[in-house]
Structure 1
Amino acid sequence: MKIFEHEYPSNRASRHPADPSAAPETDGDVLIIGDVLIIGGGINGCGIARDLAGRGWRVILCEKDDLAAHTSSSSTKLIHGGLRYLEYYEFSLVRKALQEREVLLKSAPHIMSPLRFVMPHDPSMRPAWMIRIGLFLYDHLARREVLPGSRSIDLRKHPAGEPLKSAFKRGFVYSDGWVDDARLVVLNALDARQRGAEVLTRTRCVSAQRSADQWTAVLEGPEGQRTVRARAVVNAAGPWAEAFLRGVARSAHDEALATRHLRLVKGSHIVVPRVFVHDHAYIFQNPDKRIIFAIPYQDDFTLIGTTDIELAGDDPGAARIGDDEIDYLCTQASRYFEKPIRPSDVVWTYSGVRPLLDDASGDPSAVTRDYLLEPNTAAAPLLSVWGGKITTFRKLAEDAADEVGRMLGDAREPWTEGAFLAGGDLSAWIGPTSRTSRPDEDFERFVAEVQKRYPWLDTGIARRPARAYGARITEVVGDARSMDDLGPAVAPGLHERELRYLQKEEWARSGDDVLWRRSKLGLRYTRAEREQVDAWMRAHETGQEEVGSAVT
């Protein structure tokens, strides 16, 4: 039996090391010893792993699929307070989210940026005075240093009015932010690993046995079976969190570990060719009192969403958009745009399942998006994460790490507020930034410096890796002095050196990992080009000869 224990610098080592001599027999399987085992590689699981590892805890995270393979790559890609939640009197949630917006924007300016939203006024939906009051609260519930406040606009004169129907003459503009959600998860995982966490993807927890003072879990993944012994478990399995407690986790005394029910709500989005050319997004009010967004996406596209549909079926991973949802999004967007949006315009769709706490609300849109952390210390500590939204992930992770410290009797100081995510510190390229500098302007300065350092990368090619990797672009480009040094192009603009980086550093194993989560290049490639990337990934993962010829 091989025993693996994380090693840390002495000043960050756990003050409660596990005792390998007490390890159970495992018939030769690897035994991993740590303080905390985290179930789930979405934004909450990776955020918690990062925070705990940064406090010196020995962390193991397992994810049954790829990082951000489900809910965390299927959001509306927004860092926002949630303007519509004010109507449900969720002032605490909105304030918490508003406080986090600028913290996040400053932590990773390469994958996040400020975004202005336009709300065309439809008097039949909500009166102007109600909207003004809501926007006033939105501007003042939390301090703003970077984002400008709201104002009224004349849509007959503002560029945002041009693609709209002429009936919309008045509108309101306010600020929020945009994020590459799947990369946000990866950046948290990178930071967690850099701080000592073990991140195991495509590794399923098949059993977790609880005793008085420890958990013994069996993990199954590409390298076979591993046994983990940990002092605490964090259940951050998202839509599978309740199922984990009811079917995987076991207690020596068979007490019920699941005390709450999740309400699984499917949210779907469509992507169509670019509907407008300006850089603002839209928020549209619908007759059913819901809202949808229309957002500039990947330069040449418009993202429209989302829906709120109760999930039918038992497998959250099988959620797919329905024809009725596509029709709904097209119909509601067409109420505002002069040029109708038709189902035939849709070039891509995606659906995610929101794991919301069941509060007996009849309307899925009214179910709270706030999170709840549920500690259980009847035996070895268990922390279950219920609900949450991507904007508040850092605060959720901080609160979770505080709770783990309390359960283990060793409180450790929080550290993530003000810390950069992987690749987010651009100071080596652009110099120090002020507290009030705009992250989007910092990023543009960074792109200019990237082009100076790598003049052989033209503007279009340089912007994509700059956006994806930030200051870590040097780890991707390395010592390359020409395009040839990046290796053959496996698909247009995607070279072997980048693919090898994604395999080695970012847990990418398949074409989908690369094309739809580490990037959105799948939107631009033909089916043949997508298959070429997948073939390259499979061949190099298994050691086979490269499949097919490279694209030049």
Structure 2
Amino acid sequence: MAEQFDVLVVGGGINGAGIARDAAGRGLSVCLCERDDLAAHTSSASTKLIHGGLRYLEQFEFALVGKALAEREVLLRVAPHIIWPLRFVLPHQSHLRPAWMIRLGLLLYDHLGRGKRSLAGSRRLRLTGNALGAPLREEFHTGFVYSDAWVQDARLVVLNAMDAQALGATILPRTRCVRATRSATGWIVELQTADDMPRTVRTRALVNAAGPWAVQFLDEVAGVGHDHSLRLVKGSHIVVPRMFDHDHAYIFQQPDRRIVFAIPYEHDYTLIGTTDVEYTDDPAAPHIDADETRYLCDAVNRYFRRSISPADVVWSYSGVRPLLDDEEDNASEITRDYQLELDTDGAPLLNVFGGKLTTYRRLGEEAVDRLADVLPTRAGAWTGRSDRPLPGGERRDIEALRRELCQRHPWLPETMASRLVRNYGTRSATVIGAATSLAALGEHFGADLYQAEVDYLRRHEWAATAEDILWRRSKLGLRIAAPDVARLHAYLAEAPPRTDTRASA
């Protein structure tokens, strides 16, 4: 007999995971399926920022910026272990934008959004003789500083899925939705696991959160007529050895009026991005091209004293953003807002188009509000409450949590303790378990990755491959050598993951 759910969410990116969490918390029975790993595509290929989008002010998207800034405050509260404040330096180039325009924009940015603001406001900055100006070329004398926030993007997706599961949802990564058949009262959905095992579920409502594949899902899986189109835009990033010694990031204006960020990354590196390139190939396999790499190198070379070249790139990644087609000619100016469409011509179908990482929670809340019109929910909106943090986010003072972890485990290197609390928060103790030494954590896979953490990720976070662990659950892939990666592959192959897809008792 087919399993029965109130809602089936197709897509395990940030929007799908956020919708599943919200719906499960309102008492709906929920299933989420994702053909690959959670956050395998767009949601792990962002610039890693929770931000309002300063540049959107020039496009007069005041509502989107205000909504994003309000969400920034919410997310800082509910996930303090993976989201934290970050200050940005904007060096001034008068021929690109006058200083008064930038100052006015930053004042507006400081005050848009609802409620109390926790981050420091913007200010003008003299760069000469300032540590923040030291990496910059000597021609830059004046700049501005403002606040936004950093996020571990793939972990944000996984934590939403974990909380959805804890609330009763069934989470099915590596499970493809191959066909959805609609009737007046529900959907019959055929799923297929990675090992080609079929699985059939019935659901009262279907949510299409397939991101870049949202239109393809309607055409080829659900067979639903529509007039929707998406603009696929590729954004690429490069990672180079650290270009400056402080903890601020930079935002650089470019001659084409785009902006490029240079952000402290994983202690020893600098993250540079992003590009905006129209994309028509397979969304599952985007790659940075030589022109994009050169564009990003040139973008920072206009500002930094020390130049970089493509030879300095130690890692790069690309993602495809599914943006609403607003007929804008310039890819960088296409709206980052989202659209929800509830189709009730038969069993309910909720389509999700567009969106950005920062506003995922608000999108999920609005999506379930729409579903509440056709499904009986037992509760109202709840995901923004400060007493409902994401898993591991129960403590706001992350530094105090790190100190406590080191006190309880004096054998734990401080750098490893810092990484653990910035990945797992209060769940760091669960990762360590009963270990009383590094050796007791089991096999060492290089850097500070041990068997205990690998087993935790397999058991609780659906990690199945070395890529899942090294590039999405963490960024340890930057530090682990090829022979260690091979040993991790071998370990995972010997003991395949057996993560429960349902909520634990």
User: What interval of TM-score do these two structures reach, taking the shorter chain for normalisation?
Assistant: over 0.9
Distance in structure 1 (CA, Å) of the matches to 2:133 and 2:490: 45
2:420 to 444, 458, 465: 465
Which residue type is aligned with residue 488 of structure 1? E
Distance in structure 1 (CA, Å) of the matches to 2:317 and 2:369: 34
**Structure 1 partner of 2:405:** 450
Deviation for aligned residue 1:32? 1.6
Distance in structure 2 (CA, Å) of the matches to 1:409 and 1:490: 48
1:400 to 367, 381, 384: 367
**Structure 2 partner of 1:534:** 489
1:36-71 CA distance string (max 9 Å, x none):
000000000001000000111000000000000000
1:299 to 246, 267, 276: 267
Which residue type is aligned with residue 486 of structure 1? L
Deviation for aligned residue 1:542? 8.2
CA contact (8 A) 2:27 2:378 kept: no
Distance in structure 2 (CA, Å) of the matches to 1:450 and 1:194: 25
1:247 to 220, 232, 235: 220
**Structure 2 partner of 1:126:** 97
CA contact (8 A) 1:330 1:342 kept: yes
CA contact (8 A) 1:402 1:411 kept: no
- 1:226-375 alignment runs, 5 A limit: 226-250=199-223, 256=225, 258-313=226-281, 315-375=282-342
CA contact (8 A) 1:491 1:532 kept: no
Does residue 225 of the first structure (1) align with residue 198 of the second (2)? yes
Distance in structure 2 (CA, Å) of the matches to 1:267 and 1:488: 37
Taking structure 2 as the reference length, the TM-score comes to 0.96
CA contact (8 A) 1:405 1:411 kept: no
- 1:488-499 alignment runs, 5 A limit: 488-499=443-454
- 1:65-80 alignment runs, 5 A limit: 65-80=36-51
CA contact (8 A) 1:264 1:353 kept: yes
Deviation for aligned residue 1:373? 0.5
CA contact (8 A) 2:26 2:378 kept: no
Does residue 424 of the first structure (1) align with residue 393 of the second (2)? yes
Deviation for aligned residue 1:409? 5.3
Which residue type is aligned with residue 362 of structure 1? D
Does residue 149 of the first structure (1) align with residue 121 of the second (2)? yes
Which residue type is aligned with residue 264 of structure 1? L
Distance in structure 2 (CA, Å) of the matches to 1:412 and 1:388: 25
**Structure 2 partner of 1:430:** none
1:78-123 CA distance string (max 9 Å, x none):
0000000000000000000000111101111111100000000001
Deviation for aligned residue 1:209? 0.4
**Structure 1 partner of 2:73:** 102
- 1:155-170 alignment runs, 5 A limit: 155-170=127-142
Which residue type is aligned with residue 420 of structure 1? P
Deviation for aligned residue 1:222? 3.8
Q: Any idea what SS the aligned residue of 1:45 has? A: helix
Deviation for aligned residue 1:453? 1.4
Gap regions ≥5 residues in structure 1: 4-30, 427-438, 544-552
CA contact (8 A) 1:402 1:412 kept: no
Deviation for aligned residue 1:492? 3.2
Distance in structure 2 (CA, Å) of the matches to 1:246 and 1:159: 55
Taking structure 1 as the reference length, the TM-score comes to 0.88
Distance in structure 2 (CA, Å) of the matches to 1:374 and 1:259: 12
Deviation for aligned residue 1:144? 4.0
Which residue type is aligned with residue 240 of structure 1? W
Counterparts in 2 of 1:473 and 1:123: CA distance versus 1, 3 Å: same
**Structure 2 partner of 1:92:** 63
How much identity, in percent, do the aligned residues show?
Answer: 56
Deviation for aligned residue 1:152? 0.3
Which residue type is aligned with residue 423 of structure 1? G
1:158-193 CA distance string (max 9 Å, x none):
211000000000000000000000000000000000
CA contact (8 A) 1:53 1:192 kept: yes
Deviation for aligned residue 1:242? 0.6
Distance in structure 2 (CA, Å) of the matches to 1:95 and 1:62: 32
The list of structure 1 runs, each at least 4 consecutive aligned residues, that deviate by more than 4 angstroms after superposition, is none
Deviation for aligned residue 1:157? 2.7
Distance in structure 2 (CA, Å) of the matches to 1:199 and 1:279: 37
Deviation for aligned residue 1:410? 4.7
1:402-424 CA distance string (max 9 Å, x none):
11111225574011112200100
Distance in structure 1 (CA, Å) of the matches to 2:227 and 2:21: 27
Distance in structure 2 (CA, Å) of the matches to 1:283 and 1:200: 38
CA contact (8 A) 2:463 2:497 kept: no
Task: With a CA cutoff of 8 Å and minimum separation of 6, indicate the structure with the bigger relative contact order.
Answer: 2
- 1:162-241 alignment runs, 5 A limit: 162-222=134-194, 224-241=197-214
Distance in structure 1 (CA, Å) of the matches to 2:106 and 2:478: 35
Q: Any idea what SS the aligned residue of 1:455 has? A: coil
Q: Any idea what SS the aligned residue of 2:394 has? A: coil
Does residue 478 of the first structure (1) align with residue 433 of the second (2)? yes
**Structure 2 partner of 1:42:** 13
Which residue type is aligned with residue 199 of structure 1? I
